[in-house]
Structure formats: structure tokens, C-alpha cells
Amino acid sequence: MTTRVEITEEQLPEQLRPLLAAYRETRQKAADAFNDQRVAPVHAKHQLQAPLDEANRAASEAHTALLEGSREHPQEIRQYSHARFAACVERAREHLVAAEQELRKAAGHAAVHASVRDGRPTVNAERGQESPGKKAAMFAIGLVQDAAGSLPDGID
């Protein structure tokens, strides 16, 4: 097995997920068999060689099946990845919009906080427009807007 498997289940279309699950299961069994042989007493190691070889063979077959499955379905993988990419970017965009709205509320609260004077009525936030809290929130809004502007429009 020379090709390392780093892809996750959520990155594969449904039809290839069973191949990945089978690979992971057989790979774990091979690792367990290796561990069993490694910690076995010296006189019993040879008895565990056959199960280790069988587990490695099964893992190799599952690895080959996963490689072949992914080779046979490039268009499906590409389409699935593109759709997931677009969905993730859209979700990020929604979160950034929500973050900007929350920061605007925070800026308003910071302005009110800075406008409060003991013994005086507080009915507007005029005095707090230059408060450190409002400035920090407005700066963060700018960063969020920059991040939103930096989101990719497409995968290619």
C-alpha cells in the first residue's frame, strides 16, 4: 500500500463511502494483528504470523478496491466536492453576515455603555460614539467584511 488514504467519509460521495469504511475496518484489523504479534511472547509470535498476513492481505485488497472505486468515479467525486464546497462557502458567508450583525449590536451597546453618566439621563448614545468598545467592534466589523469579501466565488 503506497498510496496514503487521507480523505474522510464526508469528502466522498455516498457510493464510495462503504469502500472507505471497509478499508478503515480492515486496516484496523491489520494494525490489531500486528500489535497482537508484537506483544506476544517470543515462543508464540510464529503462531500469530498467519493471522497477521491474512489481515494485511485483506487490508491491501480493501485499499485496492478503494483506489479503483475512486479511479472509476472521478466525475461523481468532482461533482460532490464542488457541491459541498459551495455549501460550505455559503454557510461561512451566512455566519459572517450573522457575525457582522452581532458586532453592530455590540457596537451599539458599547456606545450606550460609554454614554451613561451617573445622575444624568441616558436616552441616546451620542457621548459613546468614540468609545474604545465601539471602535473595537467597528474594527472587527471591518475584518469580518474583509473576510466575507475574500470568500471564494468558485472552486476553480
The residue ranges of every structural domain in the chain are: 9-72, 86-150
Segments of the chain scoring below 70 in pLDDT? 1-2
pLDDT digit string, tens, across residues 85-107: 999 999 999 999 999 999 999 99
- pLDDT at site 84: 95
Give the Cα separation of 152 and 143 in Å (integer). 16
pLDDT digit string, tens, across residues 19-31: 999 999 999 999 9
Please state the pTM of the whole predicted model.
0.74
Side-chain-facing half-sphere of 79: CA atoms under 13 Å: 6
- pLDDT at site 108: 95
- pLDDT at site 47: 94
